Amino acid sequence: MRNVAIVGAGMTRFAKYQDRGLKELTNEAVSAALESAGVDKSGFEVAVVGNAAAGVITGQECVRAQVVLREMGIDKIPMVNTENACASSSTAFQVAWLYVASGLYDVALAVGVEKMFVDDKLKTMAAFSGAVDVEQIRELMSSLKPPSEKKAGTESGAGTKRSLFMDIYGAVARSHMERYGTTKEHYARIAVKNHNNGSLNPHAQYQERYTLEEILASPAVSEPLTRLMCSPIGDGAAAAVLMSEEKAKQFTTDPVMVRGSAIVSGADDRGEVGGETGRAAQRAFEMAGMTPRDVNVMEVHDATAPSELFIYEELGLCEEGEGGRLIEEGVTEIGGRLPVNTSGGLLAKGHPIGATGIAQIYEIWLQLHGKAGDRQVAGAKVGLTENGGGMIRGEAAATAVHILAK
């Protein structure tokens, strides 16, 4: 396998774009990536586009890559479409990396794009509900009802008033609290951190800072989650230009290298502590010849604030049950020993699901180049992204981990 470099990257601001479609968002992100790479679009030899929900939201069920790229004059080359729920563009990135690493092509484009905001909220909720085993969905919604709805005897609001995934995350968060003594304040402190980081990121959907008290007092979603502990619905796109190491020398003397890349699926037997995330990370670290101690900055899948805490433990940053300690000690703050979600994460940067994976790549690419502005991690040389997609039997259906280094 050949060494692969990221020569350029770009993204749109994540937001609710009433009047912008998939084509326009893709054009903006790809154009930014091309400009940063100093490459012309005619140089692409293959393109891979990750998108999860266009079939439900816009009706574009098929040939999404060909549609969004043709509009900006990219045609003729092979194009591949990837769907892996929230991990759709992390998957696109790995496929593009494999094309170049294998020697089949020298220059590849990886894109993630999504529109989630539409007037008909039920369409958006249906897209999320399609990321689980739909044959078991009613049983799942019933089993995950938060205590307040069970006590009131009301129908579950999952899938109509809120994403089904908020009930899944809420149930896991309550279990962690009961088992380890984790508190609602631990989760809220992660939300404070990520919203603060997002306030420093011009691409973030939300750029407001909040106090611990404001996070806790925001409207309840699914106990113990409040609204400000949950990632928002939005639209956006992100793109990366990948090249073989030799080809990259024609365009840059300062490439970011892909050192490790792994995608795994969930399993009924989770095995040792860490489960699916741990397995993906182990594969990526083995490929990179590194350990978590080598990493300087991480972007992880904080679809809710508790999710980030769970990932601390699954990645081996601390022992199981000790995630709360990391946030108490400020370890994952900018300026801490291992900053996590400097972009603001999904909580503040936003979560247009098909765009999220490559948006994480973009943040690490900025950090390793020292171009992250006020949220820059001093001396960052190695970064990691972790991105999960879908849910089957209590575990993500797909999880991707990428390790990038200078």
Residues annotated as catalytic (active site), given as ranges: 86, 351
Distances (CA, A) of 54 to 72, 127, 293: 19, 9, 39
Q: How far apart are CA 209 and CA 305, in angstroms?
A: 15
CA separation for the pair 328, 188 (Å, rounded): 11
Query: What's the token pair of residue 151?
Result: 């006590």
Sign of CA dihedral 391, 231, 61, 134: positive
Q: Where are the alpha helices (DSSP H) in 64-163?
A: 64-70, 88-101, 121-129, 137-143, 147-152
Look at residues 368, 212, 225, 230 and name the one whose alpha carbon lies nearest to residue 299: 368
Taking the CB of residue 289, how many other CB atoms lie within 10 A of it? 10
Single out the residue of 346, 87, 322, 72 nearest to residue 194, CA to CA. Answer: 346
344 secondary structure, DSSP code? -
Spatial separation of the C-alpha atoms in residues 219 and 57, rounded to whole Å: 27
Provide the CA 262 distance to its chain's centre, in angstroms: 14
**How far is the C-alpha of 126 from the C-alpha of 82, rounded, in Å?**
19
β-bridge partners, 304: 230
Distance of alpha carbon 341 from alpha carbon 322, whole angstroms: 19
Give the other-Cβ count within 10 Å of 104's Cβ. Answer: 12
Residue 310 Cα to chain centre, angstroms? 15
Distance CA 229, CA 205 (A): 15
CB of 1 within 8 A of CB of 225? no
Task: Look at the block and give the residue holding tokens 């370890």.
Answer: 331
Which residues in 76-201 belong to E strands, given as ranges? 79-82, 107-115
Whether 68 and 113 have beta carbons less than 8 Å apart is answered as yes
